[in-house]
């Protein structure tokens, strides 16, 4: 079992705060640094090469600021950059992402079942969930669909329930995502639409979000004698008051965003 003290968590914006919150609630860490790369949001429409370069730069920033482990709290970055980030830090810094724990959860709980997946274009086009699941268990049927508009819908938070439900219906109706046993929320923003998605699917479809699954994985791998109170800092590559307000909602408590100069070129 490993010992943990300071974890660095990053995402393209504030969606990864859903994962950061669950990580803090494990009580495993003395400190957590969060980095939201708002200047480059959304990652879901970027090339693999661009996301890789952002991910390496941010991971280096986290390690230079004392983090002894890294959580990639973004599916698009997990799909594009996990191997590179792991290779870059070799054995010194454990790296967890949001995809592998979810794949393990699906393999364990849904053999022979039908599982849907929604996410950004980057995540869905990578085919990474299907590949990892079907390699281990071809009896699981995986149907995926890119739902890129959901990220701005969540970040903006100005839309009526009616419009949210219409967009969800527009994306999800059709033959692929019917008679599901579970739906993977393959984007760390989507837990904020969990109620709407549960209403859309009704009972009988498990809505799977990575935050709790990542937290359970960390708890299973680490020693925890006394639950710790985690001191948190939140950095962003671009700052707006609107993001700070949304960030508070995602994290579930008062937080202040610090503007980082990491990507400034002048």
Among 6, 8, 9, 12, which residue interacts with ligand DGL (rule: CB under 6 A)? 12
Task: Give the nearest distance from C-beta 123 to ligand DGL in angstroms.
Answer: 5
- Catalytic, out of 74, 96, 128, 142: 74
Alpha-carbon distance values, 70 to 78, 101, 234, 255 (Å)? 12, 14, 14, 21
Residues 220-259 that bind ligand DGL (CB under 6 A): none
Q: Taking CB under 6 A as the rule, does residue 42 contact ligand DGL?
A: yes
Q: Would the CA dihedral through 217, 129, 204, 22 be positive or negative? A: positive
Cis amide prior to 179 (ω within 30 degrees): no
Task: Give the nearest distance from C-beta 102 to ligand DGL in angstroms.
Answer: 11
Rounded (10°) angle between helices 161-172 and 194-201: 60
Q: Where are the beta strands (DSSP E) in 6-94?
A: 6-11, 31-36, 69-72
Residues 137-196 that bind ligand DGL (CB under 6 A): 151, 187-189
Q: Taking CB under 6 A as the rule, does residue 76 contact ligand DGL?
A: yes
b/e sequence 237-265, b meaning 16+ C-beta within 10 Å: bbbeeebbebbbebbeeebebeebebeee
Rounded (10°) angle between helices 17-25 and 210-221: 40
Which among 7-15, 27-35, 104-112, 175-183 is the span making contact with ligand DGL, rule CB under 6 A?
7-15
Q: Taking CB under 6 A as the rule, does residue 55 contact ligand DGL?
A: no
- Catalytic, out of 187, 208, 218, 257: 187
Among 80, 120, 230, 246, which residue interacts with ligand DGL (rule: CB under 6 A)? 120
Task: Respond yes or no: is residue 67 known to be catalytic.
Answer: no
Catalytic residue positions, numbered: 74, 187
Q: Which residues bind ligand DGL (CB under 6 A)?
A: 11-13, 15, 41-44, 74-76, 120, 123, 151, 187-189
């Amino acid at each position: 079992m490993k010992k943990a003290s300071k974890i660095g968590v990053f995402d393209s914006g504030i969606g990864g705060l859903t994962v950061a919150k669950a990580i803090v609630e494990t009580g495993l860490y003395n400190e957590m640094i969060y980095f939201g790369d708002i200047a480059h949001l959304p990652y879901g429409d970027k090339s693999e090469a661009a996301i890789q370069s952002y991910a390496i730069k941010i991971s280096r920033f986290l390690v230079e600021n004392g983090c002894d482990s890294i959580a990639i709290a973004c599916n698009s970055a997990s799909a594009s950059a996990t191997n590179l980030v792991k290779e870059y830090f070799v054995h010194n810094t454990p790296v967890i992402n949001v995809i592998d724990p979810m794949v393990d959860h699906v393999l364990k709980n849904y053999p022979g079942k039908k599982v849907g997946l929604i996410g950004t274009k980057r995540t869905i086009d990578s085919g990474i969930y299907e590949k990892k699941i079907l390699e281990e268990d071809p009896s699981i049927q995986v149907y995926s669909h890119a739902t890129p508009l959901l990220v701005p819908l969540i970040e903006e938070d100005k839309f009526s329930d009616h419009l949210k439900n219409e967009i969800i219906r527009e994306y999800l109706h059709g033959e692929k995502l019917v008679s599901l046993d579970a739906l993977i929320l393959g984007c760390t923003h989507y837990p904020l639409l969990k109620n709407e998605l549960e209403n859309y699917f009704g009972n009988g479809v498990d809505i799977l979000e990575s935050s709790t699954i990542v937290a359970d994985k960390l708890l299973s791998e680490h020693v925890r004698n006394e639950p710790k109170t985690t001191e948190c800092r939140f950095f962003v590559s671009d700052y707006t008051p609107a993001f700070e307000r949304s960030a508070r909602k995602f994290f579930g408590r008062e937080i202040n965003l610090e503007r980082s100069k990491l990507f400034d070129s002048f």
